[in-house]
A and B are shown apart, each in its own frame.
Chain A
């Protein structure tokens, strides 16, 4: 899922200070699961903004709404009335949700309420970790399902850097060394032989370095 964190209340106040009627719009998918932008977070952030407005005399009038998915026009339609009766929208969706709203409502200011962080999973209660860099050319099959592009700080593709201490990454000691994990995983599934194969330089072109990426499926365009 896409993992995000809310912006600070002072940042949000600064973003919204020129508006009065504000719709705080949540998204019911990824950001709900990562506890950043679902129905509950919409209420919490709205309440904090009302408190800030009362203290600073900003006169915010805040409406709350959460739709199933902000990155899809079909679901965005459900928010049409609420969007139209407010001066601005504070989206608690990911960056894709914010932009989908802005494209759909060309004359309505739409602002991000979250910082979209990464594609990851819930590791433990209250802990989310990045697992995929969306590099566009997945190599997980070579590394026992553990991504060295995302989880190795140095993106090493042909073995560990040698700097790890015990099983910890030298760049982020709070994280395990990805290559330690890869070794144990390949051993567990009987594929240690993969470590003798030299990985050629990775093709980074499908990644973000080539600009905004678009996927076209002609079979769905009729």
Chain B
């Protein structure tokens, strides 16, 4: 998988990120295929959303949530984290191994560029296997 372009699906809370800026910046990340999926709250995500991304060929899935304590719906990001962990475990059971599911918390310090940098690190880890 060293040189192959990666397929990444990025689910993000619309309250945490500026969708237009994200799409613009995500479009500048080279040959890798990054699909973005907006959610009204990261708590909207469920196991099936994430698993379907992998079933359709994603090498990695990123879930961007609000910082803990900042969720507009109180506990949406906490639910999202539990679900991301469950999917990571299920992928391990399915033979894909752990580490293909990454959750990134948005806070005041990390803007879109910082998040994209974290995605780059995530892609490097996937490539290393």
CB atoms of A47 and B95 under 8 A apart? no
Contact B48 A48 (CB under 8 A): no
Chain B nearest Cβ from A145, distance in angstroms:
33
Q: Assess A8 versus B48: contact at CB under 8 Å? Given A47-B55, A51-B54.
A: no
Contacts of B91 in A (CB 8 A): 51
In the complex, the chain B residue whose C-beta lies closest to that of A47 is: B51
Number of interface residues of B (CB under 8 A): 13
> Is A55 at the interface (CB under 8 A from chain B)?
yes
* Smallest CB gap from A9: residue in B: B93
Interface size on A, residues (CB 8 A): 15
Task: Contact check, B47 vs A55: say whether CB atoms are below 8 A apart.
Answer: no
Q: Could you mark each residue 50-72 of chain A with 1 if its beta carbon is under 8 Å from any beta carbon of chain B, else 0?
A: 11101110000000000000000
Docked complex: B8-42 residues within 8 A CB-CB of A: none
Q: Does A99 contact B (CB under 8 A)?
A: no
* Residue interface mask A23-51, B partner, CB < 8 A = 1: 00000000000000000100110011111
Which B residue's beta carbon lies closest to that of A50?
Answer: B55
Please tell me which one of the listed residues B48, B95, B96 contacts residue A44 in the complex, with CB atoms under 8 A apart. B48
**Least Cβ–Cβ distance between B97 and chain A, in angstroms:** 9
Query: Is the CB of A10 closer than 8 A to any CB of chain B?
Result: yes
- B96 cross-chain contacts in A, Cβ below 8 A: 51, 55
**Are B93 and A10 within 8 A (Cβ)?**
yes
B contact residues around A9 at 8 Å (CB): 90, 93-95
Give the chain B neighbours of A8 by CB distance below 8 A: 93
Which residues of A are found within 8 Å of B46, using beta-carbon distances? 40
A119 to chain B, nearest CB (A): 26
B4 within 8 A of A: no
Q: CA of A83 to CA of B34 in the docked complex: distance in angstroms?
A: 39
Whether B52 is near chain A, meaning CB under 8 Å from some CB there, is yes
Not counting A44-B48, A48-B93, a sample of 19 additional A-B residue pairs whose C-beta atoms are within 8 angstroms of each other reads A9-B90, A9-B93, A10-B93, A40-B46, A40-B48, A43-B48, A44-B47, A44-B90, A47-B54, A48-B51, A48-B94, A51-B55, A51-B91, A51-B95, A52-B93, A52-B94, A54-B55, A55-B94, A55-B96
Give me the interface of A with B, judged by CB distance under 8 Å. Answer: 8-10, 40, 43-44, 47-52, 54-56
> When A and B form their complex, which 8 residue pairs have the shortest distance between CB atoms, in order from nearest?
A9-B93, A47-B51, A52-B94, A55-B95, A51-B94, A48-B94, A47-B55, A9-B94
